[in-house]
Amino acid sequence: MTKDELVLKNFFKLLGDESKFKIVSELKNGEKCVCVIYNELGMEQTLVSHHLSALKKAGLINGRKAGKWVYYSLNGEAFKEIENLYDNSFGIKNLKEAKSNDCDDKICAV
């Protein structure tokens, strides 16, 4: 697996978790603190903090400390990089037409 494929795999693995996906979706609406996120999503504060920590460690979100609060936002540059990696790996320009004669009788013989 290439480095780019590994980055994409980890990205999809993170967002494959429903709670992390909901948090990222919530942050699309702008910067928020933990208390707003867990109230809006109806999740436990400790669970939200755990998921935020994983998302921040992966570089998908930023945290900005203001007094005793930490405000989280999406890391737009990280999402642009993921988009570029995806386009380069799986984008429409890389799709190849399937041919009906692609099967090899020696391999596919039943």
pLDDT tens digits, 72-89? 999 999 999 999 998 888
Q: Which residues of the chain fall below pLDDT 70?
A: 92-107, 109-110
Residues, the chain, total?
110
Domain ranges of the chain: 3-88
Note the pLDDT of residue 88: 85
DSSP 33-53: EHHHHHHHHT--HHHHHHHHH
Alpha helices (H) along 1-110: 3-15, 18-27, 34-41, 45-57, 76-90, 105-108
| CA angle 58–69–20, rounded 5-degree value | 35
**Domain 3-88, CATH among 1.10.10.10, 3.40.50.300, 3.30.365.10, 1.20.120.330:** 1.10.10.10
Note the pLDDT of residue 19: 96
In angstroms, the CA 53 to CA 106 distance is 51
Specify the pTM. 0.79
